[in-house]
Amino acid sequence: MNKRHLLQSFLAASALAFGLPAAQAQTTPIKFQLDWRFEGPAALFLQPAAKGYFKAAGLDVAIDAGNGSGGTVTRVASGAYDMGFADLAALMEFHANNPDAPNKPVAVMMVYNDTPASVMALKKSGIKSPADLTGKKLGAPVFDAGRRAFPIFAKANNVGNVQWTAMDPPLRETMLVRGDIDAITGFTFTSLLNLEARGVKTEDVVILPYPQYGVKLYGNVVIASPKMVKENPAAIKAFLAAFAKGAKEVMANPSAAIEHVKARDGIVNVPLETRRLQLAIDTVVASPNARAEGFGQVNPGRLSLMASQVSDAFATKTRVNPEAVWNASFLPSAAELNVLPPAKK
């Protein structure tokens, strides 16, 4: 019996000793890591935690900030975390580059139905379309999802060679503003607002979103460790149902949900993070593709195409097996997944 099960048995015994029903004490602890800092989109997970939906489902969920999808995948694989939120391409890369790894996490729910990645430049650079990127200096952290997937974007748009500059995330937008680089890759709702925070007007930014330029990649998914899948599938189902309930509320009222982000990071700019959350909802969570495929779900053909594209673009050791990275068996009912707000006219 491992420590977790020993603790659960102890809690149940203690509850009975005090006259409480055993079920009340039978909570499953889940360590969950986000893909990034406590910013607007984190409200999707912080809302069900703050509202007690995880607790009501018999879960004790601890949510930690992350520092990139690759790190989240690795930490869930190592057992340091039970579940997480990460870019599907990063999960695919881990699977294909570690074919013999005993603990490969799996995706159990789609959240960002479209990749949030885009190429961004300032209008004064003269860049107006993907064709204008040939020969230019691009910048992004080496682990940035948009940079990793840039070969797919380049192939789809006949972009020639570009020169890459690597930097730490906080310097990406600063270097673009200073003119050290011609363009950057990044999540639109992250980099656009970061540019604004550095004094750039939205109308002065050229945005080339990957989904609008032939790149049909999925974005972020909820992932679970194989240990959770094998030993506690009911906890995964309970987590996803509680998450979906909270996500519906977040999308209906983003402004209220941001208060839960501020509770975790007191120095966040509330108006800015509210806009970031709304931008994420509009572009990747409640996107036309998400409405067509259904929240939380994937299209098998599209998933297979992405697996092939990631295998090629990331030059993985083995080919990505789409069936190995995706497990839809824990998804809530259709009624519970009916969470998207009405389409904007």
Kindly give the pairing relationship between strand 163-165 and strand 137-139: parallel
Paired with 220 in beta bridges are 87
For the domain made up of 117-213, give the CATH fold.
Answer: D-Maltodextrin-Binding Protein; domain 2 (3.40.190)
User: How much is the pLDDT for 5?
Assistant: 52
d(CA 174, CA 157): 27
CA distances from 268 to 39, 65, 203, 261, 325 (A): 8, 14, 24, 8, 34
User: Phi/psi of residue 232, each to 5°?
Assistant: -145, 60
User: pTM score, two decimals?
Assistant: 0.90
Name residue, tokens 């930690």.
Answer: 64
d(CA 161, CA 158): 10
Identical topology for domains 3-113+218-330 and 117-213:
yes
Q: Which CATH superfamily, name and number, covers 3-113+218-330? A: Periplasmic binding protein-like II (3.40.190.10)
pLDDT at 25: 53
Residue pair 88/325 in contact (Cβ under 8 Å)? The answer is yes
For the chain, give every domain's residue range.
3-113+218-330, 117-213
Per the CB < 8 A criterion, the answer to whether 112 and 284 are in contact is: yes
Q: For the chain, 345 residues long, give each residue's pLDDT as a single digit of tens.
A: 454 554 454 444 444 344 444 344 589 999 999 999 999 999 999 999 999 999 999 999 999 999 989 999 999 999 999 999 999 999 999 999 999 999 999 999 999 999 999 999 999 999 999 999 999 999 999 989 999 999 999 999 999 999 999 999 999 999 999 999 999 999 999 999 999 999 999 999 999 999 999 999 999 999 999 999 999 999 999 999 999 999 999 999 999 999 999 999 999 999 999 999 999 999 999 999 999 999 999 999 999 999 999 999 999 999 999 999 999 999 999 999 999 999 887
The pLDDT of residue 105: 98
Q: What is the pLDDT of residue 228?
A: 97
